[in-house]
Amino acid sequence: MKDDVRMRGFARRHTVEAALELLDRHIQPLDAERLPLRSASRRVLAADVESDVDVPGFDRATMDGYAVVAASTEGAASYTPLPLVVIGDSLPARPFDGTVASGQAVRIMTGAPLPAGSDAVLPAEWIDGASDSANVAALAAVSPGKNVGHRGEDVARGTTVLGRGRTLRPQDLGVLSSIGVGDVCVIRRPRVRLVITGNELLAAGSSPTGYSIADANGPMLKALAERDGAVVDDPWLVPDEPEAIVEALHCGSDVVIVSGGSSVGLEDLAPTLLAKHGELWVHGVAMRPSSPTGFGKLGSSLVFLLPGNPVSCLCGYDFFAGRAVRTLAGGSKEWPYRSIVAALEHKITSQIGRLDYARVRVVGGRVEPLAIGGASVLSSTTRADGFVIVPADSEGFAPGTDVTVWLYA
């Protein structure tokens, strides 16, 4: 069991890099499950999908017109029309069962099978004659293969259509359906329990009264974990009592995220309890905010101890808990934020030896710092467009420096 650091401060803090390296050794994608295709959007493939069929499975028309032998239209023009004899029709799922010879044509609709003997489709607007006539004339020439979709041009039999680790998009589901896949093997979504601690907390959305405050971290963490691919239990509000916290930790979920009680105060019980009943790998990280963050394991559950201050909670989730959730769900461990590079309008000051998470705005293409401190001021993140990371080996950035901004949306 780790030493009890309450009211004594951290003996040491892990660097962010060391904490991430340790975490990465303990996380990998979960096992697979099979799902109906209709339920697989945004899920991650657990295995490659190979096609057993060609798509399309036959040569077909890509526009309405007349299936012809291309060579028989050579020289056709509006001033020298070439006669064609219409010998039948080819419709979707109702092909023409004869053979087209030179000088003949078959009326054909988009998607209909190309008749034997023909090798091109003459568009309807290039034909002179009534649509129901047996005798028409070509007003232009077509080359072999023109307006024809060839067998297997979309998907060829034996090819890998989608690879393991791909997050399925709506168009992917369409392709899978087109090759006859009715269900897919995907990475199981991690189940996450949220344990929100604090005697002062009211249920989310409650009107704050007296010395109580409404839970802000529960709704935020639930949305973050669902964004990253988790199935999230409704947040548990748990008093700062050892028995209640221990009971909440013993849940069998893949991930338990504890908000609050992670620091070194008298009522910061979570680190000591995790160390006693499970394993506490990290407690204290050299970063601002979120330095009291910790994580470890209890039974089969990964447990993350996040500070109760909302900005610290957000930062700790994105750096550590979110990384685990995304990896378990089969996704990328990296942040799900896009980034831009822009010049600083004003300086950002930091301290050597500590990583800083600076909230910023982007105004007129320039980056304006809002806050590094203020771990309890959650509105600093709603006023911000994103954040800039100041590495631990830097004292900050001077005005005019190009910095990477990670955008919240």
Condensed to tens digits (0 to 9), the pLDDT of residues 1-44 reads 445 544 445 667 899 999 999 999 999 999 999 999 999 999 99
Confidence band for 261, pLDDT divided at 50, 70 and 90: confident
Residues of the chain with CATH 3.40.980.10: 16-30+189-328
The whole-number average pLDDT for the span 171-196 is: 97
Question: What CATH homologous superfamily does 33-55+154-187 map to?
Answer: Molybdopterin biosynthesis moea protein, domain 2 (3.90.105.10)
CA distance 139 to 3: 91
How far is the C-alpha of 12 from the C-alpha of 35, rounded, in Å?
A: 46
Q: Do 217 and 321 meet the contact criterion of CB atoms below 8 Å apart? A: no
Range(s) of the chain covered by CATH 2.40.340.10: 339-407
What span, in angstroms and rounded, lies between the C-alpha atoms of 318 and 336?
Answer: 9
Model confidence at 192: pLDDT above 80: yes
- In the chain, what percentage of residues exceed pLDDT 70? 96
Angle between helices 242-249 and 270-277 (to 10 degrees): 60
Q: E-assigned strands of 230-347? A: 231-232, 236-238, 255-259, 279-283, 287-288, 294-298, 301-306, 339-344
Task: Kindly tell me the sign of the dihedral angle through the C-alpha atoms of 109, 113, 115, 117.
Answer: positive
Give every CB contact of residue 267 below 8 A, 6+ residues apart in sequence: 199, 240, 261
pTM of the model: 0.86
- Residue of 159, 171, 167 lying closest to 45 (CA atoms): 167
Residue intervals of the chain classified under CATH 3.90.105.10 are: 33-55+154-187
Confidence grade of residue 372 (pLDDT, cut at 50, 70, 90): confident
Segment 211-215 shows an average pLDDT of: 91
Assigned fold of 60-149: Molybdopterin biosynthesis moeA protein; domain 3 (2.170.190)
CATH of domain 16-30+189-328: 3.40.980.10
In angstroms, the CA 175 to CA 255 distance is 33
Alpha-carbon distance of 215 to 373, in angstroms, equals 21
According to CATH, where is 2.170.190.11 located in the chain? 60-149
* The pLDDT of residue 3: 54
Task: Quote the pLDDT of residue 11.
Answer: 65
* Topology (CATH level 3) of domain 339-407: Beta-clip (2.40.340)
φ, ψ for residue 284, nearest 5 deg: 100, 120
